[in-house]
Amino acid sequence: MLRNWISMASAAAVVVASVFAVPAHAQQGEPLRLGFLTIKSGALAAGGKQMEDALRLFLKERNNTIAGRRVELFMADTGGQPAITKTKAQELVEKDKVHAIIGPLAAFEALAVDDYIRKAQIPVISPSAAAEDMTQRKPNPWFVRAVGTSAQPVHPLGEYAAKDMKYKRIAIIADDFAFGHEISAGFQRTFEENGGKVVQKLWSPLNVADYGSYISQINPNVDAVFAAFAGGNGVKFLKQYKEYGMQGRIPVLGAMTTVDEGILKMMGDEALNVVSAGWYTAMIPTANNKRFVDAMQREYKEDPGYYSIGAYGAALMLEQAVKAVNGKVEDKEALMAALRKVELTTDPRGSIKLDALGNPLMDVYIRKVERQGGKLVNTVVKTYPAVSQFWKYEQKDFLANPVYSRDYPPAKNLEK
């Protein structure tokens, strides 16, 4: 009897000790409420799906738990509309009481919620929205990126096109919104600083149905066309580029998203030999990336790309920050401070570290579309290590200039 009482007392002591060993929020079963701003319709919907797939994979791998706290995911479809994006962000914060937000997808959406994020003081991790000034001239103290700025990967591409590919004259065609403007400007700057000339710029609406009228305007005397598209627009452009007999006549350079893995599966031979630049390709030969690619292929039968790695990387950042604050995500200031100190070694891209303004330094890969094993892939041609959002420029000098736009830097070499 005495022995049984001692055993029961010991067991009770273990239970009591266990209760007091875990944080109060874990005892109460309070979840980590995570907001997710995505796009489920329109030209950018393909990217939204890829972000969602990668985020759900991340949570599944961790049994829907981060740092001992169950994760409750609140999804919000912005429709790719700035006004709706702001409304959805407000709902996540004020109605759903989320502790942090991953999103939004597009640069113009990030700009639309910038003021609200500051006012609400809610930690936001951008998985793809690359609006330059949010980590440059007008840094938001509640905003960090899991990916780079719009121009970050094309600064190297502009230099590569001039110095390695020996191109002298290039025409640009791009989506006519902030992302396309900033990408084109960054490419133009480094291409022209290395001896090239951008002689033509064509701007197409984000939801354009047909690229024929733009393709027919391309100057036949250029060495290459630089195409900067988001979402599924790269699919439409390259298909029509081939149909108009341009493939093989004028080579195509692309932004990372023009031939992203998420849309390569929808393309055929029209994408072959397109050279692009980005901070990710499914072909990066590391163990962490192989595991990530295998998991995405197993779960969704697709290679990860720009949007997938952005969402997965954002979740990795959140996980490390939540662990750093011992799961106490209610302390928003502490969580945000931890996010700014994140240094990832397990990211599929390699080592990731944020600069003082909340933007990551990352390797940038010059990529070429090839067919391997019966499918299109972005093979690595050259690697530029630890690329900053300021490229090779001094930060002070870079920030003294206007933000990249349709009009900056000035296009002094355009031909009629």
pLDDT at 29: 67
Q: How many residues does the chain have?
A: 416
Residue spans of alpha helices (H) in 270-331: 287-300, 306-324
User: In the numeric block, which tokens belong to residue 348?
Assistant: 């599929």
Q: What is the CATH number of the domain that holds 97?
A: 3.40.50.2300
Q: Are 356 and 141 in contact (CB under 8 A)?
A: no
Angstrom distance (rounded) from CA 296 to CA 303: 6
Q: How far is residue 127 from each of residues 114, 116, 131, 307, 352, measured CA to CA in Å?
A: 15, 18, 12, 7, 14
Domains contained in the chain, number: 2
Give the lowest-confidence range in 19-33, 124-138, 354-368: 19-33
User: Quick one: angle between helices 287-300 and 45-61, nearest 10?
Assistant: 110
Residue 66: strand, helix, or coil: strand
Same domain, 272 and 370: yes
User: In the numeric block, which tokens belong to residue 196?
Assistant: 């090239």
pLDDT at 209: 87
Q: Is the pLDDT of residue 20 over 50?
A: no
Domain span at residue 291 reads: 30-149+286-361
Over the stretch 46-84, which tens digit does the pLDDT of each residue have?
889 999 999 999 999 999 999 999 999 999 999 999 999
Same domain, 280 and 293: no
For residue 22, being part of any structural domain is answered with no
Same domain, 225 and 275: yes
For residue 416, being part of any structural domain is answered with no
Same domain, 47 and 143: yes
Over the stretch 374-412, which tens digit does the pLDDT of each residue have?
999 999 999 999 999 999 999 999 999 999 999 999 999
pLDDT at 416: 75
Same domain, 74 and 195: no
